[in-house]
Amino acid sequence: MEYLKLKKLRLLVIAVGIAAIGAACSSSVFASHSFELGVAAGSLPQNTHIRLDGLTLPPGGVLPLYDSSPNFVAGHFLLRAPCDEDHVPTITVIAGHIDEHMHDTFMDKVPLYYINHASTAGSCVFHAHLPDPLNGGAPRVTDVDLINLSGQDVEFNAGDVVDINVQRVLGSIASAGYEEMQLPGELTHGNPVFDLNDDDPDNDGLGFIED
Amino acid sequence: MVGQRKKIIVFGSVFAALGFMLLSGAGLQQAFAHASTTGTVDDGPADGNLIRVVLGHSSEPTYGALPGIHDGKHNLEVRLTDAETSMPLTGASLKADKFYFESLSKFKAAKGPNGADELETGIPVEAVFGDAGHYVHRQVQKDGIYGYRLYGTISYFGEGSAEIDKTVFCMTESGGTSKFNKGSWSGGFG
């Protein structure tokens, strides 16, 4: 009887140990960028999940995804969408602030990370960090949109999706507005795309922490 | 008719009170703002990017410790962020020199911050666990004028760093406490 109790206790200790090691490892896996802070203790992230399958965006078409005005936020962005042979999405991801006043509007292309090991034929998977202080894009993000600047229809495939996970409010655009105007229509097709897994170390972007 | 007028007066008073409370709240937030300054990343790929340094006392306005009335716990607190995005900056190595003058007249008479009634140097200003970009030196204050020389190295997301060495003194209702400030500061703390 005592032997059985001891055996159960040992199994419990081993299970707790494995769980503790797993938790410690997972933090280094997810925190691959130095500027990503995640959610503050005691808070839950806010998630927006939008299926794109079956949608067709005409040239110049815009699909608004997220608007947190007046707060600018920090978070993580996921896109699965059609891409070209250089892994540039045929749709353009833009973020920044769209104001009711045109002159207070500033939108820019979001730097994307191509995730080869999660991409399948016809569609590519991308991650991005909102904002990305090291690699460019709009520094204060209240709005995230998809815009078709390719000049042709963009048809999304089955399984294409956008997922935006907002983890922190960084401030109010009312007290930190943009001084420069940049409208969505002034941008050109093609997001900057980084790739951590190919053989080119020059397209890794900044802020990546080697495990 | 009289009853209706009474109702209008009551509702009007409630709305006026609510409006006054909201306005008072906005006023308080402005009054308790901290002092802020900027620094520049001067090495690495992020060379030239700006950082924002906000310095003040916790739980402003401050009161000197008075047994049974005020505990005087007003930490020196510093918040570091990327100036463009407001994202917090972690991993800074900060220290402070603390200057304390017993009165405004003694402050005005002093020829430099080292003429303070009390001077502490090399105080660590340490990161607050679980609150990225927030650094504190815990202390209990006395009535008087406090000033700090903040110095050290601020890491910019691991892609550069900025050196800081600036001095700022708290404000008083009578004013005139900026003569030993070093570096450009905006706003103030009490």
Complex-level ipTM: 0.79
Same domain, B78 and B103: yes
Would you call B88 an interface residue with chain A, using a CB distance cutoff of 8 Å?
Answer: yes
pLDDT at B115: 95
Best B47, B80, B85, B155 residue to mutate vs chain A (most A CBs within 10 Å):
B85
Share of chain A above pLDDT 90, in %: 70
For B96, residues 6+ apart whose C-beta sits below 8 A from its C-beta are B76, B123, B125, B137, B148, B149, B150, B151
| Domain shared by B24 and B115, yes or no | no
Find residue A11's DSSP bridge partners.
none
Same structural domain for residues B44 and B14? no
Residues A111 and A96: their CA atoms lie apart, in Å, by 12
Question: Is B53 a domain residue?
Answer: yes
- B125 token code pair: 């200003």
Tokens of B2: 């009289």
Tell me, yes or no, whether B149 lies in a domain: yes
- pLDDT per residue rounded down to tens, chain B (190 residues): 445 555 554 444 544 444 433 333 333 333 446 999 999 999 999 999 999 999 999 988 889 999 999 999 999 999 999 999 999 999 999 999 999 999 999 999 999 999 999 999 999 999 999 899 999 999 999 999 999 999 999 999 999 999 999 999 999 887 789 999 999 999 999 8
Q: Do B80 and B19 belong together in one domain?
A: no
Q: In this predicted model, what pLDDT tens digit does every residue of A112-145 receive, in sequence order?
A: 999 999 998 789 999 999 999 999 999 999 999 9
Could you tell me the pLDDT band of residue A28, with boundaries at 50, 70 and 90?
very low
Nearest of A105, A110, A164, A107 to residue A136 by alpha carbon:
A110
Average per-residue pLDDT in chain A?
A: 86
- In-domain check, residue B175: no
At residue A18, does pLDDT exceed 50? Answer: no
Q: Structure tokens of B21?
A: 């409370």
pLDDT at position B173, please?
81
Q: Tens digit of pLDDT for each residue in A143-200? A: 999 999 999 999 999 999 999 999 999 999 999 999 999 999 999 999 999 998 888 8
Q: Which residues of A touch B84 (CB under 8 A)?
A: 133, 139-140
Contacts of A171 in chain B (CB under 8 A): 86
The CATH number given to whatever domain includes residue B158 is 2.60.40
Buried b (16+ CB within 10 A) or exposed e, A163-182: bbbbbbebbebeebbbeeeb
Rounded to 5 degrees, what are φ and ψ at B55?
A: -130, 140
Residues B82 and B12 grouped into a single domain: no
Cα three-residue angle A76-A160-A141, rounded to 5 degrees: 30
Q: What is the mean pLDDT of residues A73-86?
A: 96
Inter-chain CB proximity B159 and A207 less than 8 Å: yes
List the single residue in B82, B86, B130 with the smallest CB-CB distance to A41.
B130
Total number of domains constituting chain B: 2
Same domain, B23 and B48: no
B127: β partners: B135
Shared domain for B27 and B42, answered yes or no, is no
Residue B3 lies in a domain: yes
pLDDT for the residue B68: 93
Which residue type occupies B66?
A: L
The verdict on a CB contact (< 8 Å) between A140 and B84 is: yes
Q: Which domain holds residue B62?
A: 34-169
How far off is chain A from B82, nearest CA to CA, in Å?
8
Average pLDDT value for residue range A20-29? 34
Question: Cα dist. A97→A119, B182, B186 in Å?
Answer: 30, 36, 26
- Report the CATH number of the A38-197 domain: 2.60.120
Do B21 and B76 lie in a common domain? no
Of B45, B49, B85, which has the smallest distance from its Cβ to A170's Cβ? Answer: B85
**pLDDT(A21) > 50:** no
The predicted structure's pLDDT at residue A5: 59
| Chain A contact set for B132 (CB, 8 A) | 37, 40
How far is A133 from chain B, CA to nearest CA, in Å?
A: 7
Do B16 and B102 belong to one domain? Answer: no
Q: What is the largest CA-CA distance in chain B?
A: 76
Q: What's the confidence (pLDDT) of residue A122?
A: 83
Residue predicted with more confidence, A209 or B85: B85
Is the domain of B4 the same as that of B88? no
Separation in Å, CA of A35 to nearest CA in chain B: 5
Which of these ranges, A35-39, A47-51, A98-102, has the smallest mean pLDDT? Answer: A35-39
Given a cut of 60, whether residue A71 has pLDDT beyond it is yes
Structure tokens at A89: 């999405």
B54 with B147, same domain: the answer is: yes
In terms of domains, do B118 and B162 share one?
Answer: yes
What are the domain boundaries of chain A?
1-30, 38-197
Predicted confidence at residue B3, as pLDDT, reads 52
Closest CA to B92 of B108, B80, B74: B80
